[in-house]
Amino acid sequence: VWEASGVSRRILCDGISRNITPNLHDALPRLRLNSEAPRLNLWIDSLYIDQTSNEERPYQVTLMTQIHSQAEMVTVWLGEN
């Protein structure tokens, strides 16, 4: 969930308080509703890739094929509407 708008929400992720975008805030409850698992393990690029780093972001993007190909399931959130 890459988004240029400002951060508006905070969540607790593995015991760490994190800022998230409004778009990610909308996506998380929908992902939970579509899962029967008691716990979801999610890779969320906007949390794991430093979006402000012109060095880290391109490097991490090159790893996304490997990450997605090893995933059990890949879901893309394009927004509420």
* Rounded Cα distance, 15 and 3, in Å: 24
**Whether 9 contacts 26, CB under 8 Å:** no
Number of domains in the chain: 1
- Does residue 51 lie in a domain region? yes
- Does residue 78 lie in a domain region? no
- Does residue 1 lie in a domain region? no
- Does residue 2 lie in a domain region? no
Nearest Cα neighbor of 2 from 80, 72, 79 is: 79
pLDDT, tens digit (0-9, with 9 covering 90-100), for 22-63: 888 989 888 877 677 777 778 888 788 887 888 888 888 888
pTM score: 0.66
pLDDT, tens digit (0-9, with 9 covering 90-100), for 59-81: 888 888 888 898 888 888 888 87
